[in-house]
Chain A
Amino acid sequence: MSDSRRQKAARIRSLIETEGDAVFENTTTFNDGRYESVQKLDDYEELKSRARAIKEDAIADLPDLVEQVRETVEGNGGTVYLAEDEADAQRYIAEVVADRDADSVVKSKSMTSEEIEINEHLESKGVDVWETDLGEFVLQVADEAPSHIVAPAIHRSRENIAELFNAHFETDAPLETAEDLTEFAREYLAEQIKDADVGMTGANFVTADTGTIALVTSEGNARKSVATTDTHVAVAGVEKIVPSLGDLQPFVELIGRSGTGQDITAYVSLLTPPVGTPVPDFEDDETPLAEVDDDRDYHLVLIDNGRMAMRDDDDLRETLYCIRCSACANSCANFQHVGGHAFGGETYSGGIATGWEAGVHGEDSAAEFNDLCTGCSRCVNQCPVEIDIPWINTVVRDRINRGADPDSFDFLVEGLTPDAEPAGLDVQKRFFGNFETAAKLGSATAPLSNWMMEAGPVRSALERFVGVDGRRDLPTFERETFREWFADRGARVDPADATREVVLYPDVYTNYVSTARGKAAVRALESLDVHVTVPGVGESGRAPLSQGMVSTASEKASRVYGALAEHIDAGRDVVVVEPSDLAMFAREYERLLPEQSHERLAERSYEVMEYLYGLLENGGDPAALANGSEAVAYHSHCQQRTLGLEAHTVAVLERLGHDVVTSDVECCGMAGSFGYKQEYYDLSMDVGDELAAQFTTDGTRDRTVVASGTSCLEQLDSLLQRVPTHPVELVAPR
């Protein structure tokens, strides 16, 4: 394996071992909390759409809003500084601190302040900077970077923090419980807050009409840092501005729920600095607080640092709607297992970090971790501002691919790769992105190709040059493709007698590898009087898109649409077996095809079990299908769940007499090609172990395992002793 793949694999392995357990426990607690908390909202979807609309408008009007904020804040008695970049912000803040003659600054948690590395800068000027958020304080003591954008120290367990504190502070008695640690930090930081001259906060939102900043917190340290010092510096990305105070309402209802799964955090501060709170002097026993004569100073430092350029970038713009809630990290299976130290760049972590890092630090920082987004799409419905996070990851991956060295070594896959991508594209990405070509060839020469692929020299070359992990079983190609089988056999329901007509989309796996599920789909549909055609249509573009090969995917999308359009015009429905391809039609084609084409195809496309469900609901005779009374353990597919299509499979299986339990992991870990890649094999197995655990409990151990996605089936096959099947194989008449 190449050195860089080996290093990456080793780093991921070590993070799984050292930080994986703590990260997993915390992120899955947040994730479960979010599902529970948003369920209590009657108008969750509507709130998200409103939040989205507010952000869209605000970013569109941003230059005006910045001016409005400037006027309002100055009218309130504060100062606004628009910092062009990190150095500019550092310089300005250092000046404010120097003007105040301050030798100590207390800070509440702010990712934007981490982005501009203000602590290091102030410290270099001899100023003490204290992080007063307990998680940030732990990191400051440990000299570490955050592993999560909301809960920065989730990679450390209580024991671990106790060890750190006991070693660092030489406390009288060793600290042990979470209460001990909290109490110690509280007292220690209370002193720093009392002694400090400047309080620095971030801002979750800034309102243009009133000049108010909203701070969403739990501990009270942000409140204290502002109230106790007489100079307040708030650091906020320019994108944090919303037009009015009233606009905050949907965000206040969504942000805590989306992040840590709390309906609302303990404190939502709506401060309009300089705040009206008297500056306390804890020694003064004469002046009542209400009569304290003070002079508060306030500086709002708005950070551009690439954001205005992101605003002009059609693909990165959406990133600016992000309210940094962390839902996309918590709902991400890969993130749950490695955390932000692997799944993150210079400052930001989690799915959306690719957009932030590409925008504020550049593509190199995004390239470090961008491949960890598998495009499973589980985060999409969780984002309170409806950002298409996987798309941002895909676009940035494409840009990284295009920036790659054109002389790199890819003779091996040449000829297998008729794509539209630049020379220099990573050979592994090119190989997986062109899977259709390999599958065609593999099938045409099967079984020879299968023996060849498993033969030592080929496997080791694949591993060495392409980075296909030797521990994975490769797909076995069928000599007779699904389409050839169907062409020979022909349709068995005459269009004249049919209730409906469908085209069954022969995705690459169904056509060349798992032909049995295609055949089962035909039998099941025909048993309910459907006329089936299997047209000659190529790969959907999913494979290249997942490697960031956007133009290749676009070409494929056009061809698929061209081949299916006539069928749609003829009144046929499109039925898809592979959920990841259905998701292409339903979601990603929006980006790859003209709007109308996407809509037409998306509206008429159905997942096969969803279609059977519809047929049964509309009077289809369940007795025509294979009934049974099996105990089934069903793992739906990540993208299928995002489309809301898990329930249909469960309903059909139950209707036919089966007893079904479902997994509730976000992803099986395989995620298309991800689990085959040498640098990610360990992570994919670590993620998969969770699914394996759910399917090997007392209640599930003996159940028949069914799964909808090809990669999930392959993953389950490698994780369990039982051979899993596609649900349509269970319900199709023999």
Chain B
Amino acid sequence: MVTSHTDAFVESARRVDAVVTPTTADEFAATLEDAVTEPAVGTPLPFEGASYDGTPVDGAPTGAALAEAATGVTAGAAAIADYGSVVLQETGAGEELLGLYPDRHVVVVAASDVVPDMPAAFEELGERFAEGPRDAILATGPSATADMGAVVKGVHGPRDVHVLLLEDR
């Protein structure tokens, strides 16, 4: 579902150095393949019609596979238009690890999960936390530091963040 929030999200996510690619369930496999560098690992995607079938992504990775991975693919629970942030949620499958260790993080978000602003995001988080699981990250662009005398992207977390926006979900 494409709304004005979706457009606003695309704009602000690009401002914070995330790469955003709009796609659809039909085109998903092809878009994903373009977005990952191999080896790639992923956690389950809760979007109908979007899966790792026909892609090089290992959908049930071990710790060793994670250590080798160049890309981690996870679902985003929501996205915040004002900030260009994605809401990452740990479900027990290791989303937190996949979004953190590999150099590239590919986040798949449904356009209908884009909320306009922070109050809306917290409303949504409140509902999610009431049902559990209760670990979430508001992630905005790649990890960064200015501690070494200039801004550097890619510190302990990913260097690149790609958001695949499922326009028909």
Contact = CB atoms under 8 A, between A and B. Distances in A.
Bound together: yes
Interface of A: 26, 76, 132-135, 138, 151, 153, 156-161, 177-179, 181-182, 185-186, 189-190, 193, 210, 212, 218-221, 223-224, 227-228, 245-246, 248-249, 252-253, 260, 263-272, 275-278, 280-290, 292
Interface stretch (B26-34, B48-56, B64-72, B107-115): B64-72
Given A135-B147, A212-B129, A280-B97, A290 B60 contact: yes
A224 B94 contact: no
A270 B156 contact: no
A301 B142 CA distance: 31
Nearest 8 A/B pairs, CB to CB: A158-B149, A220-B157, A272-B134, A289-B94, A285-B64, A178-B150, A220-B156, A135-B147
Given A157-B149, A266-B143, A245 B155 contact: no
A284 B101 CA distance: 16
Contacts of B155: 134, 182, 186, 218-221
A158 B63 contact: no
Contact of B67 (A132, A189, A282): A282
Interface of B: 43, 60-67, 83, 85, 90-97, 100-101, 118-119, 121-123, 125-126, 129, 133-152, 154-158
Nearest to A189: B156
Given A220-B100, A227-B96, A266-B141, 12 more contacts: A135-B147, A151-B147, A160-B149, A182-B147, A212-B134, A221-B155, A266-B157, A270-B129, A280-B63, A285-B63, A287-B62, A290-B43
A227 B137 CA distance: 12
Given A246-B126, A282-B66, A290 B93 contact: yes
Contacts of A283: 63-64
A249 B118 contact: yes
Nearest to A271: B135
Contacts of B119: 249
A281 B143 contact: no
B92 A276 contact: yes
A204 to B, nearest CB: 13
B148 A277 contact: no
A182 B122 contact: no
A209 B90 CA distance: 20
B137 to A, nearest CB: 5
A23 to B, nearest CB: 13
Centre residue among B83, B95, B156 by max chain A CB count within 10 A: B156
A268 B137 CA distance: 6
A210 B137 contact: no
Centre residue among A185, A253, A276 by max chain B CB count within 10 A: A276
12 contacts: A158-B148, A177-B150, A182-B154, A185-B148, A186-B154, A219-B145, A266-B139, A267-B140, A276-B90, A282-B67, A287-B63, A288-B61
A219 B157 CA distance: 6
A326 to B, nearest CB: 13
A289 B149 contact: no
A269 B149 CA distance: 25
B129 A132 contact: no
Contacts of B65: 285
B100 A270 contact: no
A499 to B, nearest CB: 48
A321 to B, nearest CB: 20
A242 to B, nearest CB: 12
A270 B66 CA distance: 23
Centre residue among B66, B122, B141, B145 by max chain A CB count within 10 A: B145
Nearest to A159: B149
A159 B118 CA distance: 39
B145 A289 contact: no
Given A227-B100, A263-B83, A277-B135, A181 B148 contact: yes
A153 B140 CA distance: 24
A499 B43 CA distance: 76
Contacts of B154: 182, 186
